[in-house]
Amino acid sequence: MPSNIPFTIFHTSDIHGRYEKLAKLYTVLNRERNLAKQDGRLVLNFDAGDASDRLVPFCSLTKGAAFSHIVNAMGIDAQTVGNDISLPYGISALSEYASRCNFPVLAANLRDKNGPLPEHITQRTCLDVGHGIKFGVFGLTAPWGTSYEAFGLHLPDTKDIIIEEVNALKAAGADIIIFLSHLGITDDFELLFGIPEIDLVLGGHSHLLASGGMTNGQGLPFSLPGQYAEHLGKVEFEYDPAEKKLVDITVSTISIPKDIEPDPDLLRAIEKAKEEAENEERRYVGQTNYTLPLDYENQCAIGQLGADALRVRFQADIAIIMAGAFHNHIEAGEVSLGSLNKATFSAANPYLSMITGKEIREGLEKCLDPEVINYYHHGLRGAPVGFPQISGLSIEYSPDNHLGEKIGSIVIGSEPLLDEKEYKIAHTDIELSKRFGCIGRQEHQVVKHDPEIILRDVIERYFKDNSPLNMQLENRWKVTQKVVK
């Protein structure tokens, strides 16, 4: 009888651009990989998505592409698509990133129902690992409700795709099937129940750390190594060729010491990523004759710039954007893409909607709630939602009045706002949030949406068309002691 064949699988997920920690993790990964090989074990390495993050300047400047240098240096055998590039920057940016990777980037469900996958994205891969054994690996990404419909993708039923992938890998001769998941643990548990052909799940998206792994009640093992490159997932097992199954499975995580030396190969890859972004960082965008300050609690010049740029892009009647879309001021003088990116690395996309005057008033009242202004949402990457910044309208308001009674007269252009009249309003997807947005998310209201354009792109175009800017803070929100509607 043939002997059992020992394997070790390493697994990362939800790194979110923590490249300094990742360089230390790679030191541990190299050590552990070498020890496993010395013990005669076959070794593979996988990532379950969200490796990059727009918090990192070289990621945001290159829309995720530069992070490919780092993941390529890690020796990954396959990676599943997270939401770190596709949702913030669009499908074209994801395809560009995947084209640079020297391993398969998997997302079997990232498609328009039965249509083709985006370019350079793969459904599944079969890895010949030696001894005549094939690892079948497939990956799925989190659907995020209907978010991908903005890109023309209506993702198919996830359960159907899982069954389809398992059957396809079995037909291709896979001896072991690994599911590389960026669905999150709740969906994983629900969707995988009753599919015994899957041997192992390497999970992500939930940021969940399970030091000893988990099972779903049917004995299916899950590796869940947490977030931010703080732990390395490790799965050890033996493959029994006679019974064609995994035996002696052990799932664990390795904590990454803070004082360990970073790996020099990863450090070189990080420098490559930074060097690639440098040309973009230096690129001339335009000029402003005045510094454009940021203020999260009041109207501010950089917020008004963003609102003006959105209104001009769509030739809208008005524009509204929350100050939380911005992260820094812009200094007077020449403006580079790097300084603009520092000011707003938001992934917000521009929208044009039609809404009534009554909805405008109600939405703005909602956004004057201090709980909204001071609310921190992880999508804003460290900024509060902030004060609503406006263009094309002027408003009298009393900040001391009760919520719902703060706003008085509203003038659009030179005419008073009419409750029943519909207006063209430019905004971003931030303002569509149910929790803190000022615009109701009703599909019939949206006239136009640019899902592969971000706020920074809109402002860059405005600079190019209007430099040098002579913009200073305008008193568009006028404080009054008495509200007259």
- What are the boundaries of each domain within the chain? 5-277, 283-479
Query: Which residue carries 């990192």 as its tokens?
Result: 56
Encode pLDDT of 190-239 as tens digits: 999 889 999 999 999 999 999 999 998 788 999 999 999 999 999 999 99
Query: Which residue carries 């995988």 as its tokens?
Result: 192
Q: What's the token pair of residue 380?
A: 């804003």
Contact status, residue 140 vs residue 185, Cβ threshold 8 Å: no
pLDDT score at 368 = 95
Helix/strand/coil (H/E/C) assignment for every residue in 133-150:
EEEEEEEEECCCCCHHHH
pLDDT score at 295 = 98
Amino acid identity of residue 188, one-letter, is D
| In the predicted structure, residue 444 carries a pLDDT above the cut 60 | no
31/228 Cα distance (integer angstroms): 20
Local confidence band at 364 (pLDDT 50, 70, 90 cut-offs): very high
Q: Please count the CA atoms within 13 angstroms of the CA of 162 that sit on its side-chain side.
A: 23
326/341 Cα distance (integer angstroms): 9
Q: Order of strands across the sheet with 124-130? A: 124-130, 133-141, 176-182, 200-203, 221-225, 209-215
- 388 prior amide bond cis, ω within 30: no
Class of domain 283-479: alpha beta
pLDDT score at 438 = 85
Class of domain 5-277: alpha beta
Point out which residues pair with 105 in neighbouring strands.
79
7/263 Cα distance (integer angstroms): 24
pLDDT score at 12 = 98
pLDDT score at 485 = 63
Q: What is the pTM of this model?
A: 0.88
